[in-house]
Amino acid sequence: MKYKLTSGILIGILLVFFGFTAVHPERNNAFNNKEEDSSKVYALKLPETLDFSGEPAPLSAPDIRERLDKELLVNTYWQSNMMLLLKRAHKWFPTLEAILEEEGVPEDFKYLAVIESGLENVRSPKGAKGFWQLMPGTAKEYGLELNSNVDERYHIEKATRVACKYLLKAKKRFGSWTLAAASYNRGIYGTHKLLGKQLVENYYDLLLNKETSRYVFRILAVKEIMSHPQRYGFVFEESDLYKPIPVKKIGWDVPITNIAEFARERGINYKLLKIHNPWLIQNHLNNNSRKYYEISIPEEGYY
């Protein structure tokens, strides 16, 4: 009896083990492994095809595959940063997508904003600011206001429209959305000059400096990962993601002497008003010209 019981247990264990290994499917993700071991670092399985704004990347070329592989690895294994990007995208992508569509720019350019700023109103050491990292000269050229108490590079909607105008100009010049994206980093003139010097017609044939050489591949990588997060090991629920806060817009065409008092009179505090209007960079708005502004006030019940 003792012998039979032991054999039965052994047989049961073997059946469970072999049954599991027989039916457990290969993980359907880019790591392409069968083990669940977070302590190991796996090579990634590159996608068979990938495009930017409908323009295919030539993934059969070995240098192209290596450059894409590098950016996929960097962005996949910098897990905390990518998870933050996924969370922020849920909050900001609807705004960017709507403006891109209105302006006639492909939706894929939202990923350009991701690699430029991480979807935050940041400032670079060179003085570029906002989601789209606009330099002062470019911002003024396309009509944004920059002075001691207003910087519309931090105005997400207005800055996005300026970025669209630049990209549409670049697309008209090059006939390629991929080159338009590259020129956002290199400049329209600089990109045009390189194409002529090297006698080529597309981004993937150019020999570039390190930053511009990586630029489009960073966009491709974040597009791939953010479009298929589970494939790259990112697990979350919708409730984990950041959400947009509904606002009402108040038209205003006179000075504001004290923004903190202005906020309190509208049932919020200085911090919340600045969160929703980061383009107001001081505690006052001069507005001697009586320019019309729209100031966003969060709806009640969200803070």
DSSP letter string over 44-67?
Answer: ----S--EETTEE--TTSHHHHHH
277 plus 151 within the same structural domain: no
> In terms of pTM, does the model score above 0.85?
yes
Q: What are 293's strand-pairing partners?
A: 252
Give CA–CA dist 72/3, Å, rounded.
Answer: 55
187 plus 262 within the same structural domain: no
62 plus 89 within the same structural domain: yes
Q: Which residue matches tokens 């981004």?
A: 203
Coil, helix or strand at residue 102: helix
Whether 44 is covered by a domain: the verdict is: no
Q: Which residue matches tokens 């070329």?
A: 61
185 plus 258 within the same structural domain: no
Whether 4 is covered by a domain: the verdict is: no
Residues of the chain with pLDDT under 50: 1-27
Q: What's the total number of domains in the chain? A: 2
Strand pairing category for 55-56 and 247-252 = unpaired
Q: What are 150's strand-pairing partners?
A: 280
218 plus 266 within the same structural domain: no
Q: Which domain holds residue 266?
A: 247-298
185 plus 289 within the same structural domain: no
Give CA–CA dist 85/114, Å, rounded.
Answer: 7
Q: Which residue matches tokens 């590079």?
A: 153
Where does residue 190 rank: exposed (0-12), middle (13-18), buried (19+ CB within 10 A)?
Answer: middle
* Under 8 Å between Cβ of 152 and 158: yes
Whether 221 is covered by a domain: the verdict is: yes
Using the 3D structure, point to which of 196, 212, 240 is the last residue of a domain. Answer: 240
Using the 3D structure, point to which of 220, 240, 260 is the last residue of a domain. Answer: 240
169 plus 283 within the same structural domain: no
Residue-wise pLDDT for 33-78, tens only, equals: 655 566 789 999 999 999 999 999 999 999 999 999 999 999 999 9
* Nearest by Cα to 35 from 24, 46, 45: 24
Give CA–CA dist 92/115, Å, rounded.
Answer: 14
Which two structure tokens, joined as six digits, stand for 41? 């670092």
* Under 8 Å between Cβ of 96 and 160: yes
* Nearest by Cα to 27 from 231, 227, 237: 231
231 plus 283 within the same structural domain: no
Using the 3D structure, point to which of 195, 225, 240 is the last residue of a domain. Answer: 240
Whether 56 is covered by a domain: the verdict is: yes
202 plus 149 within the same structural domain: yes
183 plus 256 within the same structural domain: no
- Alpha helical stretches, state H, 78-155: 79-103, 110-117, 136-141
Give CA–CA dist 249/240, Å, rounded.
Answer: 28
Whether 175 is covered by a domain: the verdict is: yes
267 plus 155 within the same structural domain: no
Whether 25 is covered by a domain: the verdict is: no
Ranges assigned E (strand) in the chain: 51-52, 55-56, 247-252, 293-298
Whether 16 is covered by a domain: the verdict is: no
Whether 36 is covered by a domain: the verdict is: no
106 plus 134 within the same structural domain: yes
Give CA–CA dist 48/31, Å, rounded.
Answer: 14
131: domain CATH number?
A: 1.10.530.10
Note the pLDDT of residue 208: 97
